[in-house]
Amino acid sequence: MPLAAPKLDDRLFQDLVDEAKKRIPHYTSEWTDHNVSDPGVTLIELFAWLTETTLYRLNRVPERHYVKFLEMLGVTLHAPVPAKAPVTFWLSAPVEADVVIPAGTEVASTQTETERSIVFTTDADFTITAPQFSQVFSETMGQDKSDFRSSPRLSALAAGLSAQQQFRVFSETPQVGDALYLGFDNDLSHHILRLETEWDNAGGRGPNPDLPPYVWEASSPNPDRPWALCFAEIDNTRALNSNGRIQIHTPAMGQTTVNGKKLFWVRVRVKEITRAEREEGMRPYTSSPLLRKLTASTHGGVILSTHAQAIRDELLGQSDGSPGQRFFLQVTPILARREGETLLVHVSGEGAQVWTEVKDFADSHADSRHFTLDSVTGELRFGPAIRQPDGAIKRYGAIPPRGANLVFKQYRYGGGEEGNVEAGIINTLKTAIPYVDRVSNRQAAWGGLDEETLEDAMVRAPKIMRHRDRAVTAADYEDLALQTPGVTIGRVRCLQPEPSEGGRVAPGQVYVLVIPRVRRPEGFLTPEELQLDDGDVGRLTAFLDERRLLATRLFVRAPAYRWVAARVRLRANPDAVQTAVEQEILARLYRFLNPLTGGPRGDGWPFGRELFLSDVYQSLQGTPNVQFIRSVELYITEPGSGPQGEPVESVEVVAHGIIASGTHVVEFV
């Protein structure tokens, strides 16, 4: 069936007449006769008829004219956004020398008969280094016990200790917070750190070997969260009681002073066992594990990669010396240009000229080496020459000399939702690198978006007319943040800071709170998924900084997440499957207590809104196969953690804060 043409204005003759009559009392209150016999009403009907014919012709404007109208407003379709994925480069064996993974290294999924491979490229150079192990000590109940602080003792630990020398890593009766610290001289951010260990089998008594009561953490560059959780991929030591291997993935690390030493630290810390973990079988230590041997090595690194491929030194053609020339890049759509991705004009006898991409030629002069580039179509244009009223010809931008070769130094293409591949799909290294054995993606890729549709651009056009590419109001900041090239945003909120002491608000300060886009926003969101990428923060800040008022100070940051966990006790119907009921309850909780999909309207928990226990009850109403809900308890918890501490009736949220889910627990009665 044919597509129905959208109407720009759906008012008919009678609608226009009724609207005009409603305005009569406001403009001419003395006009009281609104019947069709009145001459004034006759004129209203005449003009309504003329207006209806105009609207009819306007509504028959074809879609291609919409595009032209949008172009007149400076609105162009947004190019696709590439997905990003952390890709692990595994070494064939530990090496002492550095292994450099250069920027632009291509990795891909497996190509099949029906699906082409999805190619990712690394964003920056990455060096996998061998760990420089320099400090070991244990912390027990806030009191440091310094052991193995000198290199000879570390060498002895690496060689192995006797039964008389073995090292107690926690206090004699381990307490929550006891930790073993491993200090390194070099930065091991995003490395795969392998620890080969030997333990006294009779040392750490008490815990369930399959559910050890500890976590691995690394010193963080974030002063607000000095320790970041490490992902323990392998731990076959049976809760530090058997000889074995521990393999962890480190996050971004920073130097921290511990025991008087400023190093890059990794620690294993005794954690507090939650009620849910205790019910699963986790048990505390009754005696400390005894360490006999410890060696550290690096087995790979995790590099952020982008769904893109690069084309270098593409010849576009030769200039004929005329204004307004157009050339086309071979592969589209083109991703947002990075530094160094631009046009080179090779002039005989002069060498290569570097030309600059601009949004338009409005501010270009006759000698400005400017060009525009459409990311969707790949069209590259030079400035036009326009005849002025006095007959003179004015050029907007320089023109490459006749015969000059036009070479685009580098550009990247790709992007789209097809790049949002599942975990484990990226498995092919397209360029051989010494000592690198294989690649994989432990996490699913995220952030890929297809190019903007015409309908979306039509919705965006009124916002552009409102802010005119200038950030003045809070809505301007929010709209512009969503349009920042190369940044995928889930939600954004602009606000002024809260009053400081004395009740005065700091003038000229604007906070732009950004929540990144995630692939599956309705489920459990980890702290890592909600963490802003430093590169995105930089791009947002630079983009908004060019458009803010001169007297305004801009701060781009994540909101203050208020992590909460709920414990729900309920009774299911006798014929119901408890696992299915539990999954439905958890799905509702994660969807409701969510910064992206939560809240009463389902469009994200409102910034600054307090959470009440009644809100949770309301979100669980009508759950299938539930007889009744006996109780709901709310807990303020740590990021990604379950219920801990005492339950609360409500959770206060600051103006720049928002609710996020920890780990919820469902119990059947």
The token duo for 92 is 């064939």
pLDDT tens for 413-427 read 998 999 999 999 999
Residue 537 has pLDDT above 70, yes or no: yes
Phi first, then psi: what are they for 542, rounded to 5°? -65, -40
Q: Are 73 and 461 in contact (CB under 8 A)?
A: yes
Instruction: For residue 542, give the 3-state DSSP assignment.
Output: helix
**Bridge partners for 309 per DSSP:** 413
Residue 500: band (very low, low, confident or very high) from pLDDT cuts 50, 70, 90: low
Task: Determine the Cα–Cα distance for residues 575 and 555; give it in Å rounded to an integer.
Answer: 55
- Domain positions in the chain are 13-61, 133-300, 308-414, 469-557, 560-668
> What is the pLDDT, as a whole number, of residue 165?
67
d(CA 129, CA 642): 36
Beta carbons within 10 angstroms of residue 40's beta carbon: 14
Give residues with Cβ within 8 angstroms of 122, minimum separation 6. 87, 101, 102, 103, 104, 105, 107, 303, 304, 305
Share of the chain above pLDDT 90, in %: 54
| Signed CA dihedral, 117, 120, 126, 131: sign only | negative
Residue range 4-26, pLDDT digits in tens = 456 667 788 899 899 989 998 88
Q: Which region among 58-62, 384-388, 545-549 has the lowest average model confidence (pLDDT)? A: 58-62
pLDDT value, residue 1: 29
Q: Are strands 650-651 and 214-219 parallel, antiparallel or unpaired?
A: unpaired
Q: What percent of the chain has pLDDT over 70?
A: 92
pLDDT the model gives residue 197: 92
- Each residue's pLDDT tens digit, 99-154: 999 999 999 999 888 888 999 999 999 999 999 988 888 877 545 444 443 344 66
pLDDT given for residue 2 in this prediction = 37
In this prediction, residue 159 carries a pLDDT of 61
Reported as type and span, the H/E element at residue 208 is: none
Q: What pTM did the predictor assign?
A: 0.75
Indicate if the pLDDT at residue 369 is higher than 80: yes
pLDDT digits (tens, 9 = 90+) for 256-291: 988 888 999 999 999 988 776 887 889 999 999 998
pLDDT tens across 608-635, in order?
999 999 999 999 999 999 999 999 999 9
pLDDT digits (tens, 9 = 90+) for 563-587: 999 999 999 999 989 889 999 999 9
Q: Which of 5-19, 22-36, 440-454 has the lowest mean pLDDT?
A: 5-19
Distance CA 657, CA 654 (A): 5
Q: What is residue 462's predicted lDDT score, i.e. its pLDDT?
A: 80
The CATH code for residues 469-557 is: 3.30.300
CATH for 133-300? 2.60.120
pLDDT band at 81 (very low <50, low <70, confident <90, very high): confident
As a whole number, the mean pLDDT across the chain is: 87
Strands 231-235 and 343-347: unpaired
217-227: per-residue pLDDT in tens?
Answer: 999 988 877 89
Amino acid at 504: R
Helix %, strand %, coil % of the chain (to 5): 20, 35, 50
Model confidence over 139-179: pLDDT tens digits?
Answer: 775 454 444 433 446 666 766 666 566 778 888 889 888 99
Lowest mean pLDDT: which of 183-187, 346-350, 367-371, 591-595? 346-350
* pLDDT number for residue 477: 93
* pLDDT tens, position by position, 456-489: 887 887 888 788 788 998 999 999 998 887 788 9
The domains spanning 133-300 and 469-557 adopt the same CATH topology: no
Which pLDDT value is given to residue 433? Answer: 93
pLDDT at 237 over 90: yes
> In this predicted model, what pLDDT tens digit does every residue of 203-215 receive, in sequence order?
888 899 999 999 9
CA within 13 Å, CB half, 378: 15
